[in-house]
A and B are shown apart, each in its own frame.
Chain A
Amino acid sequence: MTHGSPTPGRTDEPDEIDRLFAAYFHQQLPKSWPVFVPVPSADLPQSVVGSGRSRATLAVSVAALLGFGLYMSSSPRQVSTISESQPSGPGLLKNASARGPDLMNRNNNNPEAVKQLHAP
């Protein structure tokens, strides 16, 4: 649809650059002006089906997640012992722990141990 929009008169004579601009902008204008067909909001299809489907998908997803969580929590665990999980190898002390009294301080307070450390 074309429509008769008001066309206020032009006052000056167009030159070459005006013709170029006019041609460009007229080319940009839609060739066929669409007819507006408003749909009354009361007649709009309710998206009950769509929302119901998405809700069902969400419910199934949550149920699957809960089921998987329950399955994982009820299955027998493989508890690894400390000796199995502890790293071993040259340079590592067996059953050594960083916890406990400060060993360095204890050695510093023991003159015999200090002597042994500084002996050639």
Chain B
Amino acid sequence: MKPKRASGPRRDEFDALYRQFSREVWALAYGRWADADLAMDVTQEAFLRLWRQFEEGAEVQNPRAWLMRVARNLAEDHAKSAFRRNGTQPPELMNGVGSSTSQPLDELVRDEAFAQVRALLEELPVADREVLTFRYALDYDAPAIAELLGIHVTAVHMRLSRARQRLAERLAVQGVQKLP
């Protein structure tokens, strides 16, 4: 049987899925790597693979779960290949290096605080980063995160509370307790 081309209604369906879930896929990938650009690459690749499924006429029963699984696998694959390339050096090693362009003092102070958040975020377990990203980047509450990750709401509450406390304590040691 000749596979049907993804066009018309299927294209509309795909666009709707992209609008609905692309930020969640991004957040999942960001939670894995704490790298916004890499997370976007993973998002695009995950949706490209979904598009191919559509092109082949394959039925994806639960596109959201499918995308999450693919994004997770892509992030893991990247972790393995990055380890081969860089050893234990994280790819975001240069993220905190400042540019030579002049910035207002307030922005510099804020960027410095954000750099500290990022550095400490990288020390947290991936599971902690995941819930923090969904909570603060997408403003999701615990039930929404639980549904997305397929875990119990209580587990999300515990993980979120622990991750938030860890990060806040480490930031306090460095003198960061609020948004500058």
Contacts and interface: CB of A to CB of B under 8 A. Distances in A.
A3 B23 contact: yes
Secondary structure type dominating chain B contacts:
helix
Interface in A26-72: 26-30, 33-34, 36, 38, 40-42
Interface stretch (B47-55, B73-81, B97-105): B47-55
Interface string B78-114: 0000000000000000000000000000000010011
Contacts of A21: 117, 132, 135-136, 164, 167
B18 A36 contact: yes
Interface residues on B, range: 35 or more
B178 A10 contact: no
Contacts of B19: 3-5
Contacts of B22: 3, 33, 36
Contacts of A90: none
A79 interface: no
A20 B113 contact: yes
Interface in A1-36: 3-11, 16-30, 33-34, 36
Given A8-B139, A10-B141, A16 B6 contact: no
Given A10-B139, A20-B178, A23-B179, A28 B164 contact: no
Nearest to A15: B178
A11 B14 contact: no
A29 B143 CA distance: 22
Contacts of A34: 40, 44
A38 B51 contact: yes
B114 to A, nearest CB: 5
List the 4 shortest-distance A-B pairs measured between CB atoms, nearest first: A16-B178, A25-B137, A8-B144, A25-B136
9 contacts: A6-B144, A11-B142, A18-B136, A20-B176, A21-B136, A22-B136, A24-B117, A25-B136, A42-B5
Given A3-B19, A10-B139, 15 more contacts: A10-B141, A16-B177, A18-B164, A20-B117, A20-B176, A23-B110, A23-B114, A24-B118, A25-B132, A29-B26, A33-B23, A36-B44, A36-B51, A38-B51, A42-B5
